[in-house]
Amino acid sequence: MRRSAGARRRGPAVAVWVIAAVALGLLVLPLLGILLSAPWPQLPALLVAPETVQALGLSVLTGVISTALCLVLGIPLAVVLARSVSWPVVPRRLLRAAVTIPLVLPPVVGGLALLLLLGRNGVLGRYLALLGVTVPFTTGAVVIAQTFVAMPFLVFAVEGALRGADRRVELAAASLGASPWQVFRTVTVPLVAPGIAAGAVLCFARALGEFGATITFAGSYPGVTRTLPIASYLASQTDLDQSIALALVLLVVSVAVLLGLRDRWLPGVRG
Amino acid sequence: MARPAVGRRLVALAATGCVLALAACSAPRAAAPNPTGAADRVHGVVTVLAAASLTEVFGGLAARFEKLHPDVTITESFGGSSALAAQVVQGAPADLLATADQATMKTVTDAGLADGAPIVFATNTLTLVVPPSNPARVTTIADLAKPGVKVALCDPTVPCGSAALRLLAAEKLTVTPVTLEMDVKAVLTKVELDEVDAGLVYLTDAQAAGDKVKRLAVPGAADVVNRYPVAVLAGSTNKTAARAFERFILSTTGLGALTAAGFGAP
């Protein structure tokens, strides 16, 4: 007891600082590598190259749509997840596991799973094909792949906010005669707005970086399905400068998005 | 109580690391003299980077080579030739590189990373493949230009893609594919899954896929030939064994296996 009290007064041990520095280096130094090896003189030309502009445009468009989809679908899911604490163990854990799956599944596997579900011979896809709808190799497929991988970021951010929110406000609204939908729309959602914003930003950043599920499910065709990460990977095989330029664009957009987040919006930080 | 347990685990981990390091260092020296003569005294690990289209043949050849030379372990990595060449240029530790065309190999030789001139060991041509049910009723390569026919090709930056472009140009066809894949196996997979109506792949890949795809002859395909070069890499740490495997590929056994898989003679 005495030692832990002392530790609290002194702050983390030196070893903790050292290991934390190593961890931070592992996260940050590779990015420094991109900055140091970037072809700065040629960069302006590479950045306005048609392939770059096209891939960036596609990435931003699909990222925005995916984020919107995550918001529409994810907020209700987060509400259900937050309320599931009162459920029996088995369904509660199953629900949580289902929401977590895209976080732990290799995206390529997710893409293959989507192909087997929505491909024209897929479990659902074959019926869509009868209606004349084909999903793979379309921009829509990119959006679905991104929504799949990004959804958990939104759900967990919103769920965290909901758990921290004061439920009595909702109960008060209900007691004043608001319908459950009115409570959700006019009380619950505004109450957790910072959590929603944080989730949306993380969701967008994840969607922007999506690679594995996209290439497997949507393929790679310029202007239709070839997003910035895919264009960057493809370029890395033949033209490293072009690849680094594309990577740099991704990096700048992602960092800008994350810096735009205020501290209190990040999951796990309250203040 | 937790600390001693963690400590023990760390010691065990460290010990494992030492054993692995020792094994890695002492393996070459520990290799027993081979009774069959000096030429066979090869040992250690050979890392082979090879074009995706070589997956089946090289897999088989590596197993046979390891049987002949029990002290050698061959580790193979297959992928798009351009990606592999880029890995070598970026300093990937490998001993032998086999690409699906000479242009890709040239990026490695130009960078001074090949040990000696690459040797062409096989040729390959393209063929048209469709899913067994042939949903778009494709019969000739000209059908690829029809609207509504979903076509998968390799990206033009990889050898099978540049070959596909040359073939389509020779046939005077304008094709808008739905996807440009990063290696030939990815094209084949899309056809096998019946997610596209047709694809252009190497004859050898079509052959390896068996009845999972239906092959359609393309008369002009014989004129678009990819030549496969192999080279020992300058950065190889086991050139003796790498050369031995290269010779094995070029031997009658190796060339026989390549021919059986549908490759053309060099």
Residues A140-163: pLDDT tens digits? 999 999 999 999 999 999 999 998
B193 touches chain A (CB under 8 A): yes
Per-residue CA distances from B196 to B5, B147, B207 (Å): 55, 13, 19
pLDDT given for residue B30 in this prediction:
36
Q: A121 and B194 in contact by Cβ < 8 A?
A: yes
- pLDDT > 80? residue B27: no
3-state secondary structure B87-115: HHHCCCCCCEEECCCHHHHHHHHHCCCEC
Amino acid (one-letter) located at A138: T
In a domain, B6, yes or no: no
Considering the domain architecture, whether residues B55 and B176 belong to the same structural domain is answered as no
B185 touches chain A (CB under 8 A): no
Considering the domain architecture, whether residues B89 and B106 belong to the same structural domain is answered as yes
Considering the domain architecture, whether residues B106 and B64 belong to the same structural domain is answered as yes
B3: pLDDT confidence band, cut at 50, 70 and 90? very low
B179 touches chain A (CB under 8 A): yes
A-B C-beta contacts closer than 8 Å: 57
B196 touches chain A (CB under 8 A): yes
Q: How far is B199 from chain A (nearest CA, A)?
A: 13
pLDDT tens-digit map of B81-95: 888 998 898 888 899
B9: pLDDT confidence band, cut at 50, 70 and 90? very low
Instruction: For B78, list phi and psi in degrees, rounded to 5.
Output: -110, 145
Q: B86 and A115 in contact by Cβ < 8 A?
A: no
In a domain, B30, yes or no: no
Q: Which two tokens stand for residue A98?
A: 């289902």
pLDDT tens-digit map of B68-119: 999 999 999 998 888 899 889 888 889 999 999 999 999 999 999 999 899 9
A219 touches chain B (CB under 8 A): yes
Residue B56 belongs to what domain range? 40-123+227-260
Would you say A157 and A196 are in contact if contact means Cβ atoms under 8 Å apart? yes
Return the bridge partners of B122, or none: B228
Q: Which two tokens stand for residue B187?
A: 């094209």
A228: pLDDT confidence band, cut at 50, 70 and 90? very high
Would you say A227 and A142 are in contact if contact means Cβ atoms under 8 Å apart? yes
In a domain, B255, yes or no: yes
In a domain, B216, yes or no: yes
Please report residues of B whose CB lies closer than 8 A to that of A119: 193-195
In a domain, B35, yes or no: no
Would you say B104 and B88 are in contact if contact means Cβ atoms under 8 Å apart? no
In a domain, B8, yes or no: no
- pLDDT > 50? residue A270: no
| Optimal mutation site among B157, B195, B196, B212, interface A, most CBs of chain A within 10 A | B195
Considering the domain architecture, whether residues B236 and B248 belong to the same structural domain is answered as yes
pLDDT tens-digit map of B205-263: 999 899 999 999 898 899 999 999 999 999 999 999 999 999 999 999 999 999 999 99
Of A121, A220, A234, the CB nearest to B179: A220
Q: A136 and B195 in contact by Cβ < 8 A?
A: yes
Of B90, B150, B180, the CB nearest to A220: B180
What are the structural domains, with CATH classification, of chain A? 49-265 (1.10.3720.10)
Q: How far is A256 from chain B (nearest CA, A)?
A: 29
pLDDT given for residue A9 in this prediction:
60
Considering the domain architecture, whether residues B134 and B215 belong to the same structural domain is answered as yes
pLDDT tens-digit map of A8-35: 566 788 999 999 999 999 999 998 988 9
Please report residues of A whose CB lies closer than 8 A to that of B130: none
Considering the domain architecture, whether residues B105 and B145 belong to the same structural domain is answered as no
Considering the domain architecture, whether residues B217 and B86 belong to the same structural domain is answered as no
Q: Which residue of B has its CA nearest to A218?
A: B179
Please report residues of A whose CB lies closer than 8 A to that of B179: 137, 218-221, 225
Q: B157 and A225 in contact by Cβ < 8 A?
A: no
Q: A219 and B152 in contact by Cβ < 8 A?
A: yes
Return the bridge partners of B152, or none: B179, B199
Pairing of strands B126-130, B214-216: antiparallel
Q: What integer best gives the mean pLDDT of chain A?
A: 88
Please report residues of B whose CB lies closer than 8 A to that of A136: 195
Please report residues of A whose CB lies closer than 8 A to that of B158: 237
Instruction: Give how many domains chain B has, as a whole number.
Output: 2
Considering the domain architecture, whether residues B147 and B171 belong to the same structural domain is answered as yes
- pLDDT > 70? residue A133: yes
A225 touches chain B (CB under 8 A): yes
Instruction: For A22, list phi and psi in degrees, rounded to 5.
Output: -60, -45
Q: Which residue of B has its CA nearest to A118?
A: B195
B31: pLDDT confidence band, cut at 50, 70 and 90? very low
In a domain, B236, yes or no: yes
Would you say A219 and B181 are in contact if contact means Cβ atoms under 8 Å apart? yes
If contacts are CB pairs under 8 Å, which of residues 157-176 in chain B contact chain A? 157-158
Least trusted range by pLDDT, from A99-103, A233-237, B125-129: A233-237
**Residue B130: which CATH number?**
3.40.190.10
A77: pLDDT confidence band, cut at 50, 70 and 90? very high
Q: How far is B259 from chain A (nearest CA, A)?
A: 29
Please report residues of A whose CB lies closer than 8 A to that of B80: 237
- pLDDT > 70? residue B184: yes
B195 touches chain A (CB under 8 A): yes
Considering the domain architecture, whether residues B65 and B49 belong to the same structural domain is answered as yes
Q: Which residue of A has its CA nearest to B79?
A: A237
Considering the domain architecture, whether residues B119 and B237 belong to the same structural domain is answered as yes
pLDDT given for residue B231 in this prediction:
96
Please report residues of B whose CB lies closer than 8 A to that of A237: 80, 82-83, 85-86, 157-158, 182
In a domain, B15, yes or no: no
Per-residue CA distances from A208 to A65, A201, A215, A247, A254 (Å): 11, 11, 13, 12, 8
If contacts are CB pairs under 8 Å, which of residues 9-68 in chain A contact chain B? none
CA Rg value for chain B: 22
Residue A62: exposed, middle, or buried by beta-carbon count in 10 A (0-12, 13-18, 19+)? buried
In angstroms, rounded to a whole number, what is the distance separating the alpha carbons of residues A41 and A5?
Answer: 56
Considering the domain architecture, whether residues B69 and B198 belong to the same structural domain is answered as no
Across the range B188-216, mean pLDDT stands at 93
Of A224, A234, A240, the CB nearest to B182: A234
Helix axes A139-164, A193-209, angle to 10 degrees: 150
